[in-house]
């Protein structure tokens, strides 16, 4: 199930991380038109957000599959997603929160700060990790557990140079 939930992050691998930022933001925050449920095409399509802040939480007939969809939402909202299971690398997108603090088991804290984010300003303009320029469309587990601060500055226009050409 959900074999395609990593797809919005694949643009990071294709030298187009701004498209990852666009599509992850669309999925997290915008309305969609859904024609199919779990078993068949609906007579009338559902129009609305995929994820909602209410007890139902999702579009009709969508289930969480042991936390898969919730996990996708939480990590993607934080601006990161582990595309390859077992690989200690998280692909980056734009967080939808101003500040995220992750308290780590080693007593350190990893903080993600998003500057200038809005419903129209969701493209990564630039980033710094611990005060140094950061031009990678991914972050490693080791970089996170070392603690520190990732600052992401956003813009209404994509920076088509940020995060490109990095292995």
Q: Look at strands 41-49 and 123-129 and give their pairing.
A: unpaired
Asked if the structure places residue 150 within a domain, the reply is: yes
Instruction: Name the domain count of the chain.
Output: 1
pLDDT computed for residue 60 by the predictor: 64
- 57 secondary structure, DSSP code: -
Helix, strand, coil % over all residues of the chain, rounded to 5: 20, 35, 45
Asked if the structure places residue 23 within a domain, the reply is: yes
Asked if the structure places residue 2 within a domain, the reply is: no
Asked if the structure places residue 163 within a domain, the reply is: no
CATH code, 64:
3.30.2080.10
Asked if the structure places residue 83 within a domain, the reply is: yes
pLDDT band of 167, cuts 50, 70, 90? low
Residue range 51-104, pLDDT digits in tens: 777 777 766 666 667 777 888 889 999 999 999 989 999 999 999 999 999 999
CB neighbours of 150 closer than 8 A, spacing ≥ 6? 110, 111, 112, 113, 127, 128, 129, 134, 139
Asked if the structure places residue 165 within a domain, the reply is: no
How far apart (Å, rounded) are the C-alpha atoms in residues 74 and 78? Answer: 6
Asked if the structure places residue 92 within a domain, the reply is: yes
Residues 92/79, Cβ–Cβ less than 8 Å: yes
Asked if the structure places residue 141 within a domain, the reply is: yes
- Domain containing 134 equals 7-155
Residue range 125-161, pLDDT digits in tens: 999 999 999 999 999 999 999 999 999 999 999 999 9
Q: Give the 3-state secondary structure of residue 64.
A: coil
Model pTM? 0.88
pLDDT computed for residue 128 by the predictor: 99
Rg over alpha carbons for the chain, rounded to the nearest Å, is 17
């Amino acid at each position: 199930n959900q074999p395609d939930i990593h797809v919005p992050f694949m643009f990071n691998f294709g030298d187009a991380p701004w498209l990852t930022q666009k599509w992850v933001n669309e999925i997290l925050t915008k309305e969609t038109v859904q024609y199919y449920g779990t078993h068949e095409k609906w007579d009338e399509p559902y129009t609305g957000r995929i994820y909602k802040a209410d007890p139902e939480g999702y579009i009709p007939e969508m289930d969480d599959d042991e936390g898969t969809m919730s996990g996708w939402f939480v990590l993607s909202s934080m601006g990161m997603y582990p595309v390859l299971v077992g690989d200690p690398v998280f692909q980056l997108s734009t967080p939808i929160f101003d500040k995220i603090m992750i308290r780590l088991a080693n007593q350190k804290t990893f903080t993600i700060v998003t500057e200038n984010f809005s419903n129209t300003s969701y493209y990564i303009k630039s980033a710094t990790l611990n005060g140094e320029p950061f031009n990678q469309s991914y972050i490693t587990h080791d970089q996170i557990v070392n603690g520190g601060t990732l600052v992401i500055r956003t813009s209404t226009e994509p920076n088509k140079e940020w995060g490109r050409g990095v292995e």
